[in-house]
Amino acid sequence: MDVDLIRVILDGLRTAIGPVAAVYALAAIGLNVHYGYTGLLNFGQVGFMLVGAYGMGIAVSIHAMPLSLGIALGMLAAVVLALLLGFPTLRLRADYLAICTIAAAEILRFVFRSSPMAETTGGAFGIPSQFGGSGFTGSFVRANPIPEGSYGIGPLGFSHTRLWVMLVAWGVVALAALMVWALMRSPWGRVIKSIREDEDAARSLGKNVFAYKMQSLVLGGVFGGLAGILLVLNQGAMTPDQFLPQITFFAYTVLLLGGAATVLGPILGSVLFWFVLQSMDSLLRQTGFGNAAIGAVRLALVGLVLILLMAFRPQGIMGNKQEMMLDA
């Protein structure tokens, strides 16, 4: 069977620089603040994405608020979740925190898809973009300043709508990375990293470890909420089942691939992760694999990447082994 390798590479590149890769880069930047810099093992990042997306979607589609106000409310919802999650869990051991965060994210998903919540969240069917008029993507699409047409280099082309989403998504990622870079070079960042290394030592120096952990949880959660907002703006619809636990594990793979506790690690990790995943998808389709088999192979590939990373490069591609590595 003939395989078109050029098409395989182009499919991988198209996804690696697309809006979905930007969404995962932003979610991984949030995890980087939690885990890479503070040592908080958050396995419920997808919960922040869910409340961020629904905070925006409910405000804009159901209550007809402006998109900017909806985004602000989505970020506020992520802050509230971080506070509710942080107060009872941040004094727990890392493994208990991991269990609590993944459980909280799953509980939220089931609550949002339940029948009693259907009037507010749309239940299992979620909130379509056109609900209540122009929906939550209406003003976002109308704000597109790019003239209609196709843009790109050679066969790597994008429509004006997709290019607009890409520019916005990667712009948000760049701002988030710049913010993390500046914060980690400030006194606040040095305290955060000292807590990751030895929180008892930080506490003995008079630092309020709980308060710093809470600030880190809120900041990373807001990045997660923004990632959820960008995800649904790109897809034009939101359902609770978009926010499955595997999204958090994909984000961790992105983070560990690029390198935890590095500013550019989550971005590089997301680009490489989606290039490999989509290239493999394209290759399998050309060789006659069915959709079910491709889904299983993709998940197996993610697991294999994680195993190889922990075995041969625990600090990731850009990470510093002296500063950060998995206890593997």
DSSP string covering 185-196, please? TSHHHHHHHHHH
Residue 276 binned pLDDT confidence (cut-offs 50, 70, 90):
confident
Q: What is the pTM (predicted TM-score) of this model?
A: 0.91
CA atoms within 13 A on the CB side of 311: 6
Beta pairing class for 127-128 and 150-153: unpaired
What per-residue confidence (pLDDT) applies to 322?
66
Alpha helices of the chain — where are they, by DSSP H?
Answer: 5-16, 19-31, 45-57, 67-89, 94-112, 118-121, 135-142, 160-184, 187-197, 199-204, 209-235, 245-258, 265-286, 291-312
What per-residue confidence (pLDDT) applies to 325?
53
Residue with tokens 């973009």: 129
Backbone angles phi, psi at 4, to 5 degrees: -85, 95
Distances (CA, A) of 328 to 94, 307, 313: 16, 10, 10
Whether the CB-CB separation of 245 and 47 falls below 8 Å is answered with no
What per-residue confidence (pLDDT) applies to 31?
95
Q: Which two tokens stand for residue 43?
A: 């396995």
pLDDT digits (tens, 9 = 90+) for 219-263: 999 999 999 999 999 988 889 999 999 899 999 989 988 988 899
Backbone angles phi, psi at 128, to 5 degrees: -70, 160
Backbone angles phi, psi at 231, to 5 degrees: -60, -45
Specify the DSSP class assigned to residue 290: -
What per-residue confidence (pLDDT) applies to 328?
40
pLDDT digits (tens, 9 = 90+) for 12-48: 899 999 999 999 999 999 999 999 999 999 999 999 9
Residue 157 binned pLDDT confidence (cut-offs 50, 70, 90):
confident
Specify the DSSP class assigned to residue 143: T
d(CA 28, CA 136): 25
Specify the DSSP class assigned to residue 36: I
pLDDT digits (tens, 9 = 90+) for 71-127: 999 999 999 999 999 998 888 877 888 899 999 999 999 999 999 888 888 888 888
Whether the CB-CB separation of 202 and 55 falls below 8 Å is answered with no
